[in-house]
């Protein structure tokens, strides 16, 4: 007959083993702590537009993700994109998983120079982008209205832009995504534009550089737009100095403001390169990513 001490010891050992197993499973299955703010870099600005190497480089500089471009445009009817090819698209998804570097958004950077208002082929362009979003499970697309659809310089384009964005909102809404637009308007006017478009699937891609270049207060602008209208943030200035040395941007105060309005999302580094070493990708983007993470993730 086994002693009660022996039975007790067996029970204790089983309990310890079960606890150990549970903890191991919990660690393996629990996702990493969700960050309120994640930091990405534009693949075209790190000279890796639609290249698999963008993930490795972003990982090397400790970015959480990349803003993946749809590709060149020029006179083509739609973007010169690899993302429509299932085999090529899977390579991007596999590389993202392998490196642990996510995709913050899919960018239509071709509209920096091309006119969203006048371009005759925006239907296949938007459809291609939305399909890429759906297939890659990316929730945000970036659409800069650029120089050709600048609503400050060309206010007469407003009706057609509103009409086209209403349509685009319906397309991206089908997949529960968002198109984040960048305009040259101040926050008050941009908010009016978004209210006129009247789609929860069209939001603002707020760019610090636009605010600074036009003498606007970033904190005040963010408060005006509010959580409802912010889709993503291009959290950099024009090229001059690194973000940590930029006296025009009070990053701790910006974080405090975003905390107060309870926004969460992607902060994307586009520029803020040190002009004395503008071509040093790793140094420039590494420094800016590190600074944003220091402020927003600590």
> What residues does each domain of the chain span?
37-297
Mean pLDDT of 117-124: 96
Q: What is the DSSP string of the chain?
A: ---HHHHHHHHHHHHHHHHHHHHHHHHHHSPPPPPSEEEEEETTTTT-TT-THHHHHHHHTT-SEEEEE----TTSSS---STTSHHHHHHHHHHHHHHT-EEEEEE-GGGGTS-TTT-TTHHHHHHHHHHHHHHHT--EEEEE-TTTT-TTT-GGGHHHHHHHHHHHHHHHHTTT-EEEEE-SS-HHHHHHHHHHHT-TTEEEEEEHHHHHHTT--HHHHHHHHHHHHEEEEE---SSBS-GGG-TT--HHHHHHHHHHTT--EEEEE----BGGGTT-HHHHHHHHHHHHHHHH--
Mean pLDDT of 3-15: 46
Task: Kindly indicate the confidence band of residue 75, based on its pLDDT and cuts at 50, 70 and 90.
Answer: confident
148: pLDDT strictly greater than 60 = yes
214: pLDDT strictly greater than 50 = yes
5: pLDDT strictly greater than 80 = no
24: pLDDT strictly greater than 50 = no
Q: Please give the mean pLDDT across all residues of the chain.
A: 91
71-75, 131-135, 184-188, 221-225: least confidently modelled range: 71-75
Architecture of the domain spanning 37-297 = Alpha-Beta Barrel (3.20)
Task: Kindly indicate the confidence band of residue 276, based on its pLDDT and cuts at 50, 70 and 90.
Answer: very high
């Amino acid at each position: 007959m086994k002693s009660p001490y022996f039975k007790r010891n067996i029970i204790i050992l089983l309990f310890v083993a079960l606890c150990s197993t549970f903890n191991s499973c919990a660690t393996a299955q629990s996702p990493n702590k969700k960050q309120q703010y994640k930091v990405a870099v534009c693949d075209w600005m790190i000279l890796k537009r639609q290249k698999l190497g963008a993930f490795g480089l972003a990982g090397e500089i400790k970015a959480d993700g990349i803003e993946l471009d749809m590709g060149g445009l020029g006179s083509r009817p739609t973007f010169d994109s690899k993302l429509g090819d299932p085999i090529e698209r899977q390579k991007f998804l596999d590389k993202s998983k392998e490196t642990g570097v996510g995709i913050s958004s899919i960018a239509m950077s071709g509209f920096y120079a091309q006119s969203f208002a006048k371009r005759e082929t925006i239907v296949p362009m938007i459809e291609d982008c939305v399909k890429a979003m759906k297939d890659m499970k990316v929730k945000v697309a970036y659409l800069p209205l650029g120089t050709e659809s600048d609503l400050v310089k060309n206010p007469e384009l407003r009706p057609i832009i509103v009409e086209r964005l209403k349509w685009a909102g319906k397309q991206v809404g089908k997949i529960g995504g968002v198109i984040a637009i960048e305009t040259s308007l101040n926050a008050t006017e941009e908010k009016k534009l978004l209210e006129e478009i009247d789609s929860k699937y069209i939001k603002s891609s707020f760019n610090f550089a636009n605010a600074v270049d036009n003498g606007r207060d970033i904190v005040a602008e963010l408060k005006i737009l509010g959580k409802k209208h912010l889709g993503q943030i291009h959290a950099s200035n024009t090229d001059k100095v690194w973000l940590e040395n930029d006296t025009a941007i009070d990053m701790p105060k910006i974080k405090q403001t975003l905390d107060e309005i309870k926004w969460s999302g992607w902060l994307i580094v586009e520029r803020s390169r040190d002009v004395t070493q503008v071509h040093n990708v790793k140094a420039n983007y590494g420094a800016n990513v590190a600074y944003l993470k220091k402020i927003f993730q600590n």
